[in-house]
Each structure stands twice: as structure tokens, then as C-alpha cells.
Structure 1
Amino acid sequence: MRIVFLGPPGAGKGTQAARLMERHGIPQLSTGDMLRAAVKAGTPVGLKAKAIMEQGGLVPDAIVVGIVAERFMEPDAAKGFILDGFPRTVGQAEALDLALEHRGLKLDAVLELEVDPKVLVDRIERRAADTRAAGGTVRPDDTPEVVSKRLATYHEQTAPVSSYYAGSNRLKAIDGMAPIEAVAESIDAALAAPAH
């Protein structure tokens, strides 16, 4: 089962991905972790990424997709994988499709957790208040201003990705505002439904 998870910060992607990992025995792939591992392993793509990173540059989509493609050919990903936070652009989504096709694979589902941005900001404010009340340190990105900015950036970058997948009938919208178990049930139903 090869799945892409879309959804803004705080939507519950991590919670749902962990459940799917356990249930289906598939890894959640983080592009940041993959990039660091490829650099450390000295793979050809990793060496290209390392040279760019050492110059302080952003790793181009083609290299990021190359690293993702290398990673999903590893044994633990043979039954599938969950991509969370990738692809972030239509270019990355197109390149991912090509890399999968080249290996005779395809995505089984693109799941987008839809949430109300105002409720997300309220959730973050509550989390920060609870942390302060418990005597803990509030994360620097747990302020309404930072969360609002992250949400705006997410929607600006990811709306075209949602449209890209919707255009090929692969996007399945999930109500991320429902209780965790209800979201899980909606995801299971979406994964069980035949593709269009």
C-alpha cells in the first residue's frame, strides 16, 4: 500500500500514519530523514545532495525525488510506504509519478486531512496553555502567529498538489475534524474503496 498524506501542520497526519504503519507493516518515509541517510550512505544521489547542501543551497526536486525513489526500493518498503509532507509541489508530484511508473509501481491513495484552520490555531493555543500550566516549555512554533503563517504557507504550496491529484481522481478527502477513531475509520474506508 503506497500512500501520500496531505494536510496542514497539526491535522493529525502523524497520529494516523503511525496507526497505518502498525496495521499494514509499512514505513513512514520522511524526506528529511531520507536525505540525511542518503548523504551518510554516500549513494550517488546522496553525494549530489551533499555537495549542494554544503554550499548552502536547496536540494532540487529531481534529487529529492531520486532519494525518495531509492528509499522505496528498500526491503522494508516492499509492501508499501507512507509519504507525509511530500510531495510539496506539483513538480515533485509529477516526478514522483514518473519514478514510481519507471519501477512499475503506483500510488494506492492520496489522503488529504481537511481541517478548519481556526480550530487548528485554537488547538495549538490550548496545547501551549496546557504545557505552560504543567510547567513545561512551550515550543517556539506553538504561537498563533507562527501557526497561522505555517498554515498559510501550507495552503499556498499544497493547494496545487491537491488539485493535481484530484485531477486524476486519486485524491480522497478525509474530515480531519472528526474524533481520532472516526478519522481512522474514514481512512480505512477510503483505502478499501476501489480506485476510479
Structure 2
Amino acid sequence: MRIVLIGPPGAGKGTQARFLAERLSIPVISTGDLFRAHVAEGTTLGRRAREYMDTGALVPDEVTTAMTTSRLAEKDTSSGFILDGFPRTVRQAELLHQALVEQGTALDQVLAFHVPDDQIIRRLASRRICGDCRLTQRTDPADSGEENACQACGGSLQRRDDDREETVRKRLALYTEQTAPLLDWYASRWLLTRVTATGLIEEVTRRVFAAVLPSTVI
């Protein structure tokens, strides 16, 4: 299956993408991971992307599309994939559609995650990433010292710059302006399924699986 996940930052797309990928045995392609890999490697695309990522702005369509379509050409996507974070604009969706047509394939489904803005801000205020094992987890923002150690390896937890409240609000405004129109674009093509992404992770997982694999019980 070829699936796209759409939703505001902090909606839980990455978590649900991993669960779905394990069940379907297909890779998750995250533009966030692609961006960070290119930035770490110092590629031309990575340097261009970082200028926008550091301010919470959307990376230009041509940069994001170049990274993503290159990844889609790899062999492990032959049975399908889950795109997390791409497309983010109607133009990117059009470019993705063209690329898939050239490969003789098409999307099967688009899942749109919905979470109110105030919950997004609270979620991201508590999100941390381990500097050692890179596991993402949530903490109490007021915690410090040992209480902020990684639950998996004990490493030091770090806060991403784009999780700070002022940057999150900017990202949400950009999502409303530039990404939300994708919902109508995909709905008009009978690909869109809306998913309420509030509540416990397990509850959201059940909704996601019911949307993609309606006969599956978890």
C-alpha cells in the first residue's frame, strides 16, 4: 500500500506511521528524517533545507520534492510506503502524483490526523529527544536532572528548537495556510480518510488500523 499521512506538527503521525509500517511491512519515509540526514551530511539540499527548518518555516517545494522522490526510487519501496510529512502543499501533491504516474503507481489512501491547536502546543512543549539513542519521548517541561534522563538508555534528553512555543505557533499557522488545502485536494480524488488523533496512543492506533485495514482487530 502507498499511504500519505497529513496532519499538524505533533499530531502523532510519526508514532502511528511506525505501527502501521510494522503491520504492512513497508518503510516509513519521513521528510523530517530526510531533512536531518541531508543536513548532517552537509549536502546542498541539506544546507538549503536548514535555513528554513531553523525558523520553523516550510522547506521550498523543489527541495522537499527532490529529497522525497529520490528516496521513493529505492528498492525497498516496491511493495509500498508510508509518507510522513510529504506532501505539505498542493504543489507538492501534484509533483508527487506526477512522479508516481511515471513509476506506473498511485497512492492508495491519505490519512488526515486532527488534533486541536492547544493540545498540539502542550504536546510539543513536553517532547524531548535522546542525544544518544535518538528516542523521542515526553517529559514534564518543569523536570530536570535525572527526571529528564532517557527512559531507554539513560542519555541526556534534548529539546528541538522547532518545538518551542513561538515556533510551534508559527508552524501551525503555516499548516493552516499551506497544508490544510490538501485535505480538499485529496478528498476530491476520493483518497482522504479523516482520523481523530486525540486520546491515548492505543486509541488512535485502533482508529488508524480501522481506516486502513478495516477487518483488523488490535
TM-score (norm 2): 0.70
When structure 1 is superposed on structure 2, of 120-129 and 5-14 the one drifting more is 120-129
Maintained 8 Å contact 1:131/1:138: no
2:143 aligned partner: 133
Deviation at 1:21, TM superposition (A): 1.9
**Which aligned pairs between 1:89-168 and structure 2 lie closer than 5 A?**
89-126=89-126, 130-135=140-145, 136=148, 139=159, 140-168=161-189
Is the alpha carbon distance of 1:103 and 1:178 closer, same or farther for their aligned partners in structure 2, counting shifts above 3 Å? same
What is the distance in 2 between the residues matched to 1:132 and 1:138? 13
Deviation at 1:73, TM superposition (A): 2.9
Cα deviation digits, residues 17-67 of structure 1 (max 9, x gap): 111122212111133655766xx7xxxxx98x58x94xx899863564354
Identity value in percent:
45
How many matched pairs?
183
Is the alpha carbon distance of 1:129 and 1:104 closer, same or farther for their aligned partners in structure 2, counting shifts above 3 Å? closer
Structure 2 residues without counterparts, runs of 5 or longer: 53-57, 128-137, 149-156
Q: Does residue 170 of structure 1 match 2:191?
A: yes
Is the alpha carbon distance of 1:145 and 1:24 closer, same or farther for their aligned partners in structure 2, counting shifts above 3 Å? same
Cα deviation digits, residues 71-116 of structure 1 (max 9, x gap): 2232211111111111111111011111111211111111111011
Cα deviation digits, residues 134-193 of structure 1 (max 9, x gap): 434662444433322221122211111122111212111000013211211111121135
Q: Does residue 192 of structure 1 match 2:213?
A: yes
Maintained 8 Å contact 1:65/1:99: no
| SS in structure 2 at match of 1:151 | helix
The residue type equivalent to 2:175 in the other structure is Y
Q: What RMSD, in angstroms, separates the aligned Cα atoms of the two structures?
A: 3.1
> Would you tell me which structure has more helix in proportion to its own residues?
1
| SS in structure 1 at match of 2:87 | coil
